[in-house]
Structure 1
Amino acid sequence: MKILIARLNHETNTFSPVPTPIAAFSPAYGEEAYHANKGMRTAMAAFIDLAEGLGATLVTPVSAMANPSGPVHAAAYDELTRRIVEAAPGCDAILLDLHGAMVAENSADGEGDLLARVRAAAPGVPLGVALDLHGNITEQMVQNADVMVGFKTYPHIDMYETGEHAGRLLLQMLRGEASYRVCWHPLPLMSHTLRSTTLEGAMRDAVDAARQLEHGGLPAVTVFAGFSLADIEAPCMSVVATCREEDLDATQAAVDDLAQQIWQRRADYVYRSEALADSLRRAANLAQGATRPVLLLDHGDNCMSGGTCDTMDVLQAALAQGLTGIAVGPICDPETVATLIKAGVGAEVEVALGNKVPLAQLGLHKEPLQLRGRVHAASDGGYTVTGPIYTGQRCHMGRSVCLDIGSAQIVVTEQPHEPWDLGVFHCVGVDPTRFRYLLLKSRMYCRPVFVPLSAGLVECDSPGVTTSDYARFPFTHVHRPVYPLDSL
């Protein structure tokens, strides 16, 4: 028995100026792809464990994951997908760990086009897919998969479990125990990422309803929040189910009913930002008398949604309001890192920090923030994740420096990086628990680690390519009408 197992993950923000060449994926091929996932918390790792439990021969052509950014370069998309497609003939089953919201320069439906090519290369071979909760599901994806299962958590902590779920169903097909189909219901609803958390609100209720359908006997039901920062036809929510062929009509009815419940609460999937100055005033009130830091989450420049990780609006506004005792990080500015390292630890320096990547599609061109401070520490920017997301994974931010400006200590890195873990501060000798405020460029991924250590959380919207203000984005390809761009 031969099973094809591969991973190709990218969430594409078509408004992001951050490029996505093949190097951004740090791809691993063949045996290296296997070792990059074995023992990890990825869906591909679960596929590997299931296949090895059967004594199957594994074919692992590629494992590639890039942080969210702009459209995938055509050459990168062609090379990474080619390896998967060419490995498909002769395999008895195919399990793919994908994202579901990939857009390439030469493909508006990255996963759909890939699945269609894999299906054509290996007709009749059972094909299962594990996807991110923020997948933009398309008809082509649904038609070319036998099994489709998505994450049920955001922040995402069930990647492995999702892979195990999808793989278990597909192996039932392989053994002749079941024949599965995928059905779905797309909605004209562009949800806000900050309203797709499964910790509370409408999204939690919708995911709970999907779980209830599974407990009632359906093999798999997923509520996909979609990823709306993509100017494609339908960057929208959908409900997807994997069902037995004989139950297709009943399952479609259940999916339609759940989709209708979501639509009735469509306003609950819209995030309405307050003015940045108001957010910072709330933070200052929370900090009074607090013994733990207040989190300031700059979700307008979140690199895990395609942000540049270098906009300075929130820090600049915080300093203007007189906030002190701020730990900030990470800010991506390779030029400043080089300047600080050349100056050396202990040196007094003047720098022009951040705001160096033009946000051309939003019509924004900002000036760097002029700061004076002391080089507190420097490191290679490496740390190991201890929290529940990507536990045990070694992360690298590039060369990293802590700049102390008195009112704030700022972690400056060579690469954009999500603050997954305390390690983003510890690697440059900063204890984030000793500050009044922690300014993080994040939406959700920081929360499992940082929220338990904090006195409160304030979401700060800033004018970046991951802002929650849809009015800033020049959508041209989205099929209209769609909520909330239109009144429906």
Structure 2
Amino acid sequence: MRILAARLNHETNTFSPVPTPLASFEPKYDGDARTFGTGSNTAFGAFVDYATKRDADLITPLAATANPSGPCPDDVFEALIAPLLRAVAGGVDVILLDLHGAMVSQGHEDCEGELLARIRALAPDVPLGVALDLHGNISAKIVENCDCIVGFKTYPHIDMYATGAHVTRIIEAMLSDGLRPHMALSHPPMLPHTLKMNTEVDCAMTDLIAQARAAEGKNGVLAATVFGGFGLSDIAVAGLSIVTVATATDKATSLANELARSAWDRREDFVYVEQPLAQSLQEARSAADQPGTGPVLLLDHGDNCMSGGSCDNMDVLAAALAEGMDGIIAGPICDPELVATLTQAGPGATVDVTLGNKAIAKGFIAPQPPLPLRGKVTGCSDGRYVVTGPIYTGQTCDMGRAVVLQTPQATILITERPHEPWDLGVFTSAGIDPLKARYLILKSRMYCRPVFSPLSRAMIECASGGITSSDYSLFSFERLTRPIYPLDSITGWPA
């Protein structure tokens, strides 16, 4: 048996000014792709294990993942999918794909749907299973061009491998028992906020997912996924959707509609209302004076790398400095021009510089002027470190060159690339101990939490005017299907 397994992941923020060249995907092909997948906590890793257990001829034409950023050029999308399509055209018996569900190129607002349609044209009868991210924006084109879809049920995502294994169980039943899955899609007009999808706390999202889990394995239901969607993508189908897989169409449709209705009834619970930044900083001051150990963690979720943020918005840091707060450690802040300048100046140099607020996003509010600072360069590094866990444990990360600037109030880590602070190594690799901070400012929404939250005395979410803001009024939506809640008032859904 010839099993094709591949991975292509990108969550596209269509408003983001961060470019997405081919190199950002770090594509791996054939044997290198298989090596990447083997033992990894990804759906692709589960696919590799499944093929190995089946003693199949495993074909791995591609493993490519880019951090969230702006739409990729069409030639990049074509270059990525070309080896995959060639492999399908060569003849395979099973196709297993680890995709995201919210990838956009300059010419395709539904890259996953486009890819699956092309695969179906080449292999119309080959069993095709797909694993998707909880933040996928799911189109009818995606659903119509595969046999089964299973999405993550956790955020932060820790069940990637389990999701892939779920896909393989359905595919195995197709191969061994003659199963013919039926799928249904329901797309209530909702654009949830990402900060309302945290499955580590009790909320509407965890309730919906529990309802989906309870339905699986009963009444012919093979899988049920609540996709929160990715609201920072200006495409027609952005938003919450439900995908169900069952042994009959009526069973899949009934459950999809039931879950969609439950989501709609809880729609207000998916709205995140930002509090004013000044109020957040006042809370931070109060928290710092309370008993406890560790820094007060300030999350600049409006400039979150893992949602396409540029990591150069200075709103939170500038406001904290203006308030007279000190003992601050902040970063990583992306400013490649300044990194070059400070690297040339070298450790020990005292410099007057302007930091951040240099990435301009089309169709978005203009940032404030760059932040003027006077400080000393206290360290330079190559920006590389190995993750100690619990997310991406053992993976080597590269922030580009990194420089440390020390000012009277703050120690600032400045890097060449936007980078998610998901490990202490982000700071320790540059000679900074983040736990010595009074206030630790991170450009993050969710992925920093498993590491930094247990080590902090308090955590406060801070609003900024960055490209990943939860304030939808900052975004100029043009392609999004309207009306949609909470942008619009809607009555009478479903009709």
TM-score bracket relative to the smaller structure: over 0.9
Tell me if 1:105 matches 2:86.
no
Q: Is contact 2:105-2:111 (8 Å) kept?
A: yes
Tell me if 1:80 matches 2:83.
no
Aligned-pair identity (%): 54
Q: Is contact 1:19-1:70 (8 Å) kept?
A: yes
Deviation readout 1:133-152 (Å, 9 max, x if unpaired): 00000001111111101111
Aligned to 1:188: 189
Deviation readout 1:308-329 (Å, 9 max, x if unpaired): 1111110000111111111111
- Structure 1 stretch 284-293 or stretch 62-71: which is displaced more? 284-293
- Structure 1 stretch 331-340 or stretch 127-136: which is displaced more? 331-340
Aligned to 1:51: 51
Once the two structures are superposed, the pairs formed by residues 166-185 of structure 1 within 5 Å of their partners are 166-185=167-186
Aligned to 2:316: 314
Aligned to 2:229: 226
Tell me by how many angstroms 1:237 deviates: 0.3
CA distance in 2, matches of 1:478, 1:417: 28
CA distance in 2, matches of 1:267, 1:387: 34
Tell me if 1:242 matches 2:242.
no
CA distance in 2, matches of 1:199, 1:262: 18
Once the two structures are superposed, the pairs formed by residues 144-293 of structure 1 within 5 Å of their partners are 144-200=145-201, 201-214=203-216, 216=218, 218-244=221-247, 247-289=248-290, 290-293=292-295
Once the two structures are superposed, the pairs formed by residues 75-474 of structure 1 within 5 Å of their partners are 75-89=75-89, 90-200=91-201, 201-214=203-216, 216=218, 218-244=221-247, 247-289=248-290, 290-474=292-476
Deviation readout 1:133-189 (Å, 9 max, x if unpaired): 000000011111111011111011111111111122212212335221221211110
Aligned to 2:493: none
Name the aligned partner's letter for residue 196 of structure 1.
M
Tell me if 1:11 matches 2:34.
no
Task: Tell me the SS of whatever aligns to 2:8.
Answer: strand
Tell me by how many angstroms 1:100 deviates: 0.1
CA distance in 1, matches of 2:365, 2:439: 31
Q: Is contact 1:296-1:458 (8 Å) kept?
A: yes
Tell me if 1:2 matches 2:5.
no
Q: Which runs of 5+ in 1 are unaligned?
A: none
CA distance in 1, matches of 2:234, 2:139: 14
CA distance in 2, matches of 1:182, 1:384: 41
CA distance in 2, matches of 1:295, 1:76: 38
CA distance in 2, matches of 1:279, 1:236: 28
Q: Is contact 2:183-2:252 (8 Å) kept?
A: no
Task: Tell me the SS of whatever aligns to 1:481.
Answer: coil
Name the aligned partner's letter for residue 286 of structure 1.
A
Q: Is contact 1:402-1:410 (8 Å) kept?
A: yes
Task: Tell me the SS of whatever aligns to 1:360.
Answer: coil
Q: Is contact 2:339-2:401 (8 Å) kept?
A: yes
Deviation readout 1:65-102 (Å, 9 max, x if unpaired): 11111111110111112222221131000000000001
Q: Is contact 1:86-1:121 (8 Å) kept?
A: no
Tell me by how many angstroms 1:251 deviates: 2.8
Q: Is contact 2:191-2:231 (8 Å) kept?
A: yes
Name the aligned partner's letter for residue 240 of structure 1.
V
Tell me by how many angstroms 1:365 deviates: 4.0
CA distance in 2, matches of 1:182, 1:398: 44
CA distance in 2, matches of 1:350, 1:46: 51
Q: Is contact 1:19-1:72 (8 Å) kept?
A: yes
Q: Would you identify which runs of 4 or more consecutive aligned residues in structure 1 move more than 6 Å?
A: none
Q: Is contact 1:328-1:411 (8 Å) kept?
A: yes
Name the aligned partner's letter for residue 203 of structure 1.
M
Name the aligned partner's letter for residue 241 of structure 2.
S
Tell me by how many angstroms 1:209 deviates: 1.0
Task: Tell me the SS of whatever aligns to 2:272.
Answer: coil
CA distance in 2, matches of 1:391, 1:41: 9
CA distance in 2, matches of 1:178, 1:122: 18
Q: Is contact 2:463-2:469 (8 Å) kept?
A: yes
CA distance in 2, matches of 1:385, 1:165: 27
What TM-score do the two structures reach when normalised by structure 1? Answer: 0.97
Q: Is contact 1:157-1:388 (8 Å) kept?
A: no
Name the aligned partner's letter for residue 239 of structure 2.
C
Name the aligned partner's letter for residue 186 of structure 1.
H
Name the aligned partner's letter for residue 277 of structure 2.
L
Aligned to 1:25: 25
Q: Which runs of 5+ in 2 are unaligned?
A: 491-495
RMSD: 1.2
CA distance in 2, matches of 1:360, 1:321: 31
Name the aligned partner's letter for residue 16 of structure 1.
S
Aligned to 1:478: 480
Deviation readout 1:416-456 (Å, 9 max, x if unpaired): 10111111011011111111111000100111111111111
Name the aligned partner's letter for residue 57 of structure 1.
D
Deviation readout 1:323-369 (Å, 9 max, x if unpaired): 11111110011111112221222222222111111133213043211
CA distance in 2, matches of 1:108, 1:396: 29
CA distance in 1, matches of 2:365, 2:452: 33
Deviation readout 1:15-44 (Å, 9 max, x if unpaired): 111111211111111111111221221111
Q: Is contact 1:359-1:464 (8 Å) kept?
A: no
Q: Is contact 2:5-2:47 (8 Å) kept?
A: yes
Q: Is contact 1:145-1:182 (8 Å) kept?
A: no
Tell me by how many angstroms 1:215 deviates: 5.0
Q: Is contact 2:367-2:465 (8 Å) kept?
A: no
Q: Is contact 2:332-2:419 (8 Å) kept?
A: yes
What TM-score do the two structures reach when normalised by structure 2? Answer: 0.96
Q: Is contact 1:233-1:477 (8 Å) kept?
A: yes
Q: Is contact 2:129-2:171 (8 Å) kept?
A: yes
- Structure 1 stretch 284-293 or stretch 144-153: which is displaced more? 284-293
